[in-house]
Amino acid sequence: MKSKYVNPFTDFGFKKIFGEEASKPLLIDFLNCLLPPHNKIVTLHFKNTEQLGITETDRKAIYDIYCENERGEKFIVELQKAKQNFFKERTIYYSTFPIREQAEKGEWNYQLKAVYCVGILDFKFDDYDTEIEKNEVVHTIQLKNQHGKTFYSKLTYIYLEMPNFRFLDTELATRLDKWLYFIKHLEDFQQIPTIFKDEVFEQAFAKAELARLNATDLESYENSLKVYRDLKNVIDTAFDDGKLEGKIEGKLEGKLEGKIEGKIEGKIEVPRTAKQMGLAIAAIVQLTGLSEEEIANL
């Protein structure tokens, strides 16, 4: 059955729903679901998504969405379609730009506004110690001391692991549940479910409806959808190859070594397979976190 709505895991679809001027009420509603009651957003304005380093040779950062609320607090909202090397380090690096840009010339007391980094992940982290952590959807991280007490409350990382969100429509208990259900299943809807009968979600469905796109936007979406599907195909292929390699090595050298070898081979196979499929180097860089030189040498 042909899709009626955009896939929100594409760059175009995500920015169409949350990243345009007309989308501000949707983004505010979504972000307010993640914030404590005392810190709700009233207004937002979008900022330049390209952040430059101090010098021309410094590495820059390009966000999916970068905005600021009425209190001067900064919000980075990123859609991450695939696991990449050093992803956590990347988000921490990205958070330094909105911190650094607050510096004032002359006398300044170093008082900072809060920075929030929100990542919507179409994959699962694999380094949690407990089953509870492994199955949680929302992971909120702040800087704490050795006693678990928050040392600095103005820097918050919020990761949403979408594969862990498995609620049925009858199990949605919160506003955030509805947003996550909307994001995960939007492409499959043929009509607006009754649980979304309010103004904000009706606006979201209207923004996402393919029939409302002009010819230029429709072409941009099709290109974005192709990139997303190619990435998924690369990941699935590399994962299967890595798993097979792990099984073979496991039989020859032992289960533990096989598991490690499978993981290593899987990581190498992602960019290698992407190159073989003709995926653009820029897309492979985004997917893996490798440099262009490292990809060229594979």
What is the dihedral angle through the alpha carbons of 73, 288, 134, 78, rounded to the nearest 10 degrees?
20
**Is 175 within 8 Å of 183 (Cβ atoms)?**
no
Q: How far is 34 from 175, CA to CA, in rounded Å?
A: 10
Percentage of residues in the chain with pLDDT exceeding 90?
60
Q: Whole-prediction pTM value? A: 0.78
| pLDDT in the model for residue 230 | 84
Average pLDDT of the chain, as a whole number: 85
pLDDT of 186 over the 90 cut:
yes
What's the residue count for the chain? 298
CA distances, 279 to each of 121, 211, 293 (Å): 21, 29, 16
Comparing 82-96, 101-115, 155-169, 277-291, the range with the smallest average pLDDT is 277-291
State CA 286 to chain mean position distance.
12
- CA angle at residue 234 from 253 to 94, to 5 degrees? 100
CA distances, 278 to each of 71, 202, 234, 290 (Å): 45, 39, 11, 17
| pLDDT in the model for residue 253 | 46
Q: Which helix (H) or strand (E) is 227 found in, with range?
A: helix 215-253
| pLDDT in the model for residue 8 | 95
Q: Kindly list the domain boundaries of the chain, sorted by start residue.
A: 11-212, 217-296
Hey, is 112 helix, strand or coil? coil
| pLDDT in the model for residue 162 | 96
pLDDT digits over 152-168, tens only? 999 999 999 999 999 99
List phi, psi (to 5°) of 56: -65, -25
pLDDT digits over 231-285, tens only? 877 776 765 555 545 444 444 444 444 444 444 445 566 677 677 666 777 777 7
Q: What residue type is assigned to position 96 of the chain?
A: T
226 Cβ neighbours under 8 A, 6+ residues apart: none
| pLDDT in the model for residue 296 | 76
Q: Which of 264, 167, 274, 175 is nearest to 231 (CA)?
A: 274
Q: Which of 177, 221, 195, 194 is nearest to 3 (CA)?
A: 221
Q: How far is 64 from 96, CA to CA, in rounded Å?
A: 16
**Is 108 within 8 Å of 124 (Cβ atoms)?**
no
pLDDT of 289 over the 90 cut:
no
Q: Which of 62, 60, 22, 26 is nearest to 41 (CA)?
A: 26
Mean pLDDT, to the nearest integer, of 169-196?
A: 95
Which range, 107-121, 122-136, 226-240, is most confident?
Answer: 107-121
pLDDT digits over 201-235, tens only? 999 999 999 999 999 999 999 999 998 888 877 77
